[in-house]
Structure 1
Amino acid sequence: MARPLVVIPARMGSSRLPGKALAPIAGRPMILHVLDRALAAAIGPVAVATDSAQIARIVEAAGGRVVITGGDHACGSDRIGEALGALDPAAVHDVIVNLQGDQPDIAPGALAAALEPLEDPLVDIATLAAPAGPGERDDPNVVKLIGAEVAPRRMRALYFTRAPAPHGEGPHLHHIGVYAFRRAALARFTGLPPSPLEIRERLEQLRALEAGMRIDAMILDKAARGVDTSADLQRLREAQDQVERSRR
């Protein structure tokens, strides 16, 4: 049986939407919504890894666990790699789940689904995807997964891109920002420098593929879109407002 640890990497210096971890949604900072979703998934302990004292104070005030990291990490998984020494020095947890801090709308059950590909010993990293929605094929803020089906609702990832790929008629897959690493795979990943394709596409998972690591994705019915832009944030706020109005 896997013993997962969920870690949420968060920083203030997002290039496309600075300070988004603390952007208010329904009156609460986004990072607390992500923390709530991770706790509701109930797959294992949850912590936040951040370089921001402000984020740390807010998470701790809400009762969450935080580790302060350096500020020079190339990606969230590198930040988690640093935090892991403080979070789990005895290496009790054999699976480390990176739930990106801009996923406040992810369904708690999705995190359990992300663990399923790791039942295959050939898989190093597991993730999630879903059919792309209208307009997402051509949106560079929506990452597309190109893969080969290896089992029902499971794909082996061949590539990830911001471009509208693959070419031609047929479905496209929207990649969801969750990674379930075997502990050894995370150690290998963080020991590698950022790769050429990772830098070019600004996608950390390409470092793993370029190093020959295997990533498999479970395919969900619908993607919970992350918050990458101000338009994403506004969309999510409007959706939350509708939920609140329906409860009155």
Structure 2
Amino acid sequence: MIKSLKKGLYKLAEDLGFRAQYLIILFKIRKLLGLKSLEEKRIEKFYADLFNGRLSLIFDIGANVGIRTSVFSSLGNKVVVLEPNRELVSILNSRFSRSNVEVIDKACAASSGTREFHLGDNHLVSTLSTQFIHHKQESGAKNKWAKKSQIKTISLDELVKIYGVPDFCKIDVEGYEKEVLSGLNQKIGMISFEFNYPAFESDTLWCLEKLSSLGYTSFNFSLGETLEFHFSEWVSYEDISAIFHLKNFPFGTCYGDIYAR
């Protein structure tokens, strides 16, 4: 009943053009009442176990509305967030004002400059990657990307130069992961990046090879939003890359996150 009501209110706000304002109010009410969903509690436990202690600096590349940012804020001394969607930036600035989170309205790319950003009708599918759009369309998704905008970009190397080396860096950029990691030429803390299969097999294998070349030696992954590691023990680059070759990949069409340290 409550879930249906929330969906109905969200749809009404979206139809009236007040989606951002609705989400800002919703997050403020939840914060005031100290409410956390089961999903948020699950995410918090996963990262608390993964980090095994408070971190000094976290990069959140592609924060969306800040579900994981909120967890990072509670587990880190400082969180640097990159989000190119201006509507979502307004939500993030409202959610994390007067906190340890710094929101930057840029995208992460191989270098500084400008890129064309494709705004989806659902904020979960906005992207800089035309390959991602083609993948979604070919898979039967009904989403539309009618609006485009020019956005500023910054590389991971440049972020490190400004803020220091992060203990953890989360990358979730809807098919633009290869471009983001192209802008990293040094080993930082633990990294996670999203994969989409089978459409982005070559990009995923490139990202794994890139991280290995930077000195990352231990890998693991979780499917979808399970937040459950596939391997009970972290594995080598050779082992993780072997399973992510499509001929060996046993999970069919799916997405998830790969972790490297």
TM-score normalised per structure 1 = 0.28
Larger-Rg structure: 2
Which protein has greater RCO, CA pairs closer than 8 Å, 6+ apart? 1
- Between structures 1 and 2, the one with greater helix share: 2
